[in-house]
């Protein structure tokens, strides 16, 4: 169960980073910021998939 809690904490942490990066992206339209945001979202989805697998 602790592994599940750790994954949830990591998911929330990445979600906060994505939120900040999205705000930054409103002003900074460089391709680097887009790539960074895309990678963060992919990582968030991977963690979410792991959480869902552990729940079932």
Asked whether the CA dihedral 20, 26, 27, 32 is positive or negative, the reply is: positive
Map tokens 């989805």 to a residue.
45
What confidence score (pLDDT) does residue 1 get?
64
Answer whether 7's CB lies under 8 Å from 44's CB: no
Quick: pLDDT tens for 4-52.
999 999 999 999 999 999 999 888 888 888 899 999 999 999 999 999 9
Paired tokens of 26: 């409103």
């Amino acid at each position: 169960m602790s592994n599940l809690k750790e994954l949830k904490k990591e998911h929330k942490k990445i979600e906060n980073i994505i939120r900040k990066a999205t705000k930054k992206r409103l002003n900074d339209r460089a391709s680097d910021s887009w790539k960074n945001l895309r990678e963060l979202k992919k990582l968030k989805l991977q963690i979410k998939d792991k959480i869902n697998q552990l729940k079932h």
